Structure 1
């Protein structure tokens, strides 16, 4: 019995187990305490700077300060592009816990349509640098700002920030020349300097705004602010002020630009005016225009679709991208080229029976006056716009020399210094046709080029530039839109300026100018009605550009054609003849004869620039044009 009790209870054994367990517990406690102390030492001593910095970042935030965009003025100091205060809605994705829920709430608060909501979501997911705000919405109204303020506690990472927004007071008139700014997209974000554009949501997209983006934008600044746990700014700890963009002063004259837009009177077309001696672009209008302010804040889908589907193409800049056959406006240039190449003399006379025929070819290339002009010399060929004279001249020169001489005036090339998006149009050649169509050049195509038709295409800016070079007697001055960048004046002699055109006999200029003056003042001049009452000497040339080709025995009848199949009206001019102060090109689409529908507009532009009484009465002028039946068919 005693032996059994000893078996059931062994105090020594139990004591030994207790000691072992106590030792293990003590060891575990000491080990864990040591690990804890070691971790504390590591965090407090070794990693002190790391976690101190992290803590500071939770309390202190560095925010970018976008620079103020430079202003744009016309030559007289009239403001063309300004900055107005507005409020933008921004989002920092890294501070948003549930992006979808946040966007859904914002869409309800902003009362967005389904299409606007979709665009809203696309912008929220646009690639952005870490902790940089994405622009969700611009130009918030007071009601939207109030709703956001009330629900701010539900919108972490969402801010309403005050910023200056671009505004164009004369948007429709200046849209194509100035261009506009718009939101920075994902592709642009990849190429922009992250420091310089920190906090910036807008960038120049077209026109002057795009070309001079570097000087207009400025340099972003920074500010260090202290925030609370909800991210609300408590105080500013320091700042580096942004550097504002430089202001631009343009060569454009707002009054002349507005007049050009009024003269076109809603018709499709373009007017460009240049100071020949300096290359200053006084006016560069493409009509119809559009409200460029819509693109700054983000144009809605319906409005953009309406602009795209408009048959008049208001978004298309006709002044620099419109391609038109120059028609008879190039005859003074061809006459001078014929003199330079020794193909004609000023007094050479041809007999015009009303048509021209190539050797061994039965086809008749007709003059616009079907019974012909009889005896025609160079000056009369310009004044009456005789086609037969220039058929013969073109055939004798050949396309190679024609291409070389016309290229010297800038045809088929980009001609301006700071006009973004300018097209080079087309001055055809043998090589061009072989590359484009894989065909040889035909003699009949040379004749078409000789009257400004066929493959030859010009822009209104090219035609105005060539007219300015002609007025300068061959001296090239590159057209430009900016006269001052900040305090720095843009020089007249710019990089890329083409070589001057020289002639062996300076009197040739006078003979060509004489023919151009007779266009307006001669009794046979194609624009003689436009020249009535001129108070200065003006040289010009009308032109009519065919929209489609007529057969050999077909006759043009505008009344039987759809409006958009009618000829384009063109006119180029400079004045005063003895000391040119302005060169103008006018193109009115589908208006018919240039001697009526374009010449009067050119005269109005030169009157406004040269005469003290300023701009003419536009309504009276347009009414007179409607009643004018003295146009010369085909010119």
Structure 2
């Protein structure tokens, strides 16, 4: 046709077509939701009789290497209360009947309510007093107690509260006693205090409080009792018509059939307990769901939890389901099979418990007093794969106590979350260290946080009290003592500073420099006479290895020892961006560091910052120099300007500690101190003069440069590190892997505790394979020389008594780590350490045993023997358990 133009399909045309398709789809979906399905969703939104009911998925099993069950899910019955307008009318009558049935059936009401009575108290799950303080503030805030305080203090304030004002509100919240809190909640929940006894009042309050905390959810019954017996469940089934709102539900519950066994590995689960967005985003119900909190349970929460099921249901006016409108079945979590051997794990736990009891019962161990041998750890590793065979932390805990609401009894709570004030007093009395004034001793060992004015918040400054929920095998970094000497030997041999034949006369002392005053004596060890390398390891000669350390430092530098230790996993280069601060273990771990100059400076910078803060607050240094008291501690009420000035002062202090005179600037300090005096209200009207400020600056110089930095520049830190003292600090897992690396010829494997992942039907999902972390490159003759000394330790040295009559040749090393020179004054003593491997000629297993306040390391060797007996299935034919 004439005049007709040819149409082209352009990009613009394509875009128009795509947009039309998209908007058509959206319009269609809207039509379905608003018109076709509108009635259903409208009823669900407005009619309380239609609810979405979640169904928990069974958590995956956790197995040992041989398939023995360490953790599983079991189907149980739980009793719930569904809140409806109808059931609320009969709440108190209904719950009275329910409590009566539970009591007569020998069942226990679910009780994880932190507010207790008889006496009134709070029981918050916190490892320290500060955590408990934070949880108390949160508890009272969530229950509306904060509102009346805000209205009283800042009624007309329209803007958000400042940090100072928030701190004041928190302070007022903490003033509300447990009894006052109880009475306020009684009023809030409309519980008749005249009609019901105090015990009944609290039982009602538990349910009411649960409903309050659940109130934001679409459908959330209050759990009344969990894990009830089948016959009890059937009683309630038969009486449901008489109990408005009550229902019986089957649900999976976590169970640990072996109780405390491997608790440090398994961890535990517990309720989330807060409106945490990260869990909401993952589909958790933050008020009722349980999650893994530590160990394997925590590390592999995503694999173990499974997929929730649920249904859309119509409920009658009493809150019970009458019609199912839709359903999705739950799917179990994955099964995790560990490398742990249950039998070796059990034998290790028993042996460690027995050894610590013997130390407590017979506390006079030569120069050590072992009455506080309450904590220990032991680790066994396959030297050829890095697989963990046993991992023990004592004291342990029963994870079953956390697996269900109310499982944590008051007695267990006090055991797992000790009150530092009460336990501190008992400790002082038990150890006989009260001195002239018990209160002064309490404040010295368990100081009060003076920044908290209402609550008594104490800290275990000297690390004296056992912490059952703390994993001493993976989280505690402790000095290795003489077990580090093989590392010093390796560094000396590899750098050719010494040969295996290098010898010296061990006369019981080492000269750190400065004449007679610089001599350090080892009188407990006695004179060992002429020692070469093998005999020095056998006799654990401190002078020999300190001499090697001095030779290394003189020929190289302060970091030469660390460069070799890092190859064996004893720390990592802190200046390297690619350093890996992990053994590879899948559960959370701390990571200890070997002595090096960078770490030494940072350690001193923190330690002497604390000392400087203390000295300035007291107005006097160790030499008796006086100055005006200056407070640079962080305080809750500090303004932003004061916080900034204090931070700048602390930065200057730390720089002065690290770098000495070249970092110390008197004018900068003078200006900062003057600014603090002008800005901090506590110095108002004190008229502090320039001369007084100068005295403050001089004292800072004395502490940071004259004391701290001069110590950093001295050589004694290297000498101490050579025998496993000073700032050397490692976890038992690190030490076990270091020994495994020596045993297998110099290949360091990544430590792993998971063997494989299986689906719910037992089919393999993933097999964990051994992974080489580093080939150390250490010569075989170097390792052979070190092993010769370790063989001698068990044959005729410091561990010979423990291995007398043992049928397999073993190699090892004892260690006695001094925690401080004044340890006895606060009831503590040396840490007993033993490391070793077996068999000597064809190593299979490497071990580390550590007993805090356990005295001499030879005593820890008895635990290692029990570990070998279980691993190699050897009957115990050694009844002697008295090691020194």
TM-score bracket for this pair, using the shorter chain length: 0.7 to 0.9
Higher relative contact order (CA 8 A, sep 6+): 2
* Residues 1:506 and 2:813 aligned together: no
> 1:421: how far off?
2.7
Counterpart check, 1:405 vs 2:560:
no
- Match of residue 82 from structure 1: 72
1:588 paired residue number: 851
CA 1:52–1:100 in structure 2 vs 1: closer, same or farther (change >3 Å)? closer
Q: What CA distance in whole angstroms lies between the structure 2 residues aligned with 1:446 and 1:593?
A: 23
Q: How far, CA to CA, are the matches of 2:386 and 2:215 in structure 1?
A: 42
Q: Give SS of 1:606's match.
A: helix
The residue matched to 1:588 in structure 2 has which SS?
strand
Structure 1 unaligned segments of length 5 or more: list them.
1-45, 551-555
1:608 paired to 2:870: yes
Q: Cα deviations across residues 324-367 of structure 1 (Å, max 9, x unaligned)?
A: 21111111121112112332222211222221113444321224
Matched, 1:492 2:764: no
Matched, 1:269 2:269: no
**Who is 2:512 aligned against?**
358
| Equivalent residues in 2 for 1:253-332, closer than 5 Å | 253-265=341-353, 267=356, 268-298=375-405, 299-309=408-418, 311-332=465-486
Aligned mates of 1:447, 1:358 — CA distance in 2? 8
Structure 2 partner of 1:36: none
1:209 aligns with 2:209: no
2:126 is matched with: none
Q: 1:194 to 1:389 in 2, by over 3 A?
A: closer
Give the structure 1 partner of residue 543 of structure 2: 388
C-alpha deviation, 1:180, in angstroms: 1.0
2:789 maps to 1:515: yes
Q: Deviations over 1:598-635 (max 9, x none)?
A: 11221221132124xx3527xx64xx113x5xx3xxxx
Instruction: Report the CA distance shift for 1:379/1:137 in structure 2 as closer, same or farther (over 3 A).
Output: farther
Partner of 1:38: none
Task: Give the distance between the partners of 1:476 and 1:104, measured in 2 at CA.
Answer: 67
Name 1:35's counterpart in structure 2: none
Residue 423 of structure 1 corresponds to which residue in structure 2?
Answer: 590
SS in structure 2 at match of 1:598: helix
CA distance in structure 2 between the partners assigned to 1:153 and 1:189 by the alignment:
39
Q: How much has 1:72 moved relative to structure 2? A: 0.9
1:586 CA displacement? 0.8
Which residue of 470, 475, 483 corresponds with 2:742?
470
Alignment of 1:558-569 (within 5 A): 564-569=827-832
Q: Distance in 1 between matches of 2:543 and 2:819?
A: 21
Alpha-carbon separation, structure 1, partners of 2:237 and 2:329 = 28
Cα distance in 2 for partners of 1:568, 1:269 equals 9
SS in 1 for 2:720: helix
Deviation at 1:81, TM superposition (A): 0.6
Deviates more, 1:167-176 or 1:124-133: 124-133
Shift of 1:96: 5.6
CA, structure 1 residues 319+101, in 2 after alignment: closer, same or farther (shift >3 Å)?
A: farther
User: Could you tell which deviates more after superposition, 470-479 or 95-104?
Assistant: 95-104
Q: Which stretches in structure 2 are left out of the alignment for 5+ residues?
A: 1-33, 101-108, 117-201, 357-374, 424-464, 573-580, 606-656, 658-707, 759-763
Q: Secondary structure at the match of 2:748?
A: coil
Q: How does 1:4-403 map to 2 (within 5 A)?
A: 50-55=38-43, 58=47, 61-90=51-80, 95=84, 102=91, 106=95, 109-110=98-99, 115=116, 117=203, 121-126=208-213, 130-133=217-220, 136-141=223-228, 146=235, 150=239, 155-156=244-245, 159-188=247-276, 190-195=278-283, 201-265=289-353, 267=356, 268-298=375-405, 299-309=408-418, 311-362=465-516, 363-367=518-522, 371-398=526-553, 399-403=558-562
Q: CA RMSD in A?
A: 3.2
Q: Does 1:543 align with 2:815?
A: yes
- The range that moved more, 82-91 or 466-475, is 82-91
**Which secondary structure state, in structure 2, belongs to the residue aligned with residue 565 of structure 1?**
coil
Q: Which residue of 1 aligns with 2:836?
A: 573
SS in 2 for 1:570: strand
C-alpha contact 2:481 2:725 (8 A) present in aligned 1 = yes
How far apart are residue 79 of structure 1 and its match? 0.8
The change in CA–CA distance for 1:383 and 1:52 in structure 2 (over 3 A counts) is closer
CA distance in 2, matches of 1:396, 1:101: 84
Distance in 2 of aligned mates of 1:188 and 1:568: 40
Contact 1:544 1:568 in 2 (8 A): yes
Task: State the shift of 1:391 in Å.
Answer: 0.8
- CA 1:544/1:273 → structure 2, altered by over 3 Å: closer, same or farther? same
Tell me if the contact between 1:355 and 1:370 (Cα under 8 Å) persists in the aligned partners.
no
Separation (CA, whole Å) in 2 of partners of 1:336 and 1:473: 12
* Residues 1:173 and 1:323: Cα distance change in structure 2 (over 3 Å): same
Q: Is the CA contact 1:517–1:539 (under 8 Å) kept in the aligned structure 2?
A: yes
Query: How many residues matched?
Result: 560
Given the superposition, is the C-alpha separation of residues 300 and 534 from structure 1 closer, same or farther in structure 2, using an over 3 Å criterion?
closer
Residues 578 and 186 from structure 1, CA distance in 2 versus in 1: closer, same or farther, beyond 3 angstroms? same
Match of 1:8 in 2: none
Alpha carbons 1:103, 1:121 under 8 Å: kept: no
CA contact (8 A) 2:268 2:402 kept: yes
Residue 9 of structure 1 corresponds to none
CA offset digits 1:457-476 (Å, max 9, x no partner): 22211111111122122212
CA distance in 2, matches of 1:122, 1:465: 49
What's the offset of the Cα at 1:481? Answer: 1.3
- Conserved 8 A contact 2:570-2:734: yes
Q: Judging changes above 3 Å, is the alpha-carbon distance between structure 1 residues 418 and 516 closer, same or farther for their aligned structure 2 residues?
A: closer
CA shift for structure 1 position 135: 5.5
Aligned equivalents of 1:140, 1:371: Cα separation in 2: 62
Q: Distance in 2 between matches of 1:383 and 1:282?
A: 27
The answer to whether the 8 A contact 2:756-2:768 is kept is: no
Range with bigger deviation, 197-206 or 296-305:
197-206
Distance across 2 between alignment mates of 1:583 and 1:96:
65
When normalised by structure 1's length, the TM-score is: 0.80
Residues 136-175 of structure 1 deviation map (CA, whole Å, 9 limit, x = unaligned):
345253597556974766644x643211110111222221
For structure 1, which segment, 420-429 or 276-285, has the greater mean C-alpha deviation from structure 2 after superposition? 420-429
In the other structure, the counterpart of 2:446 is none
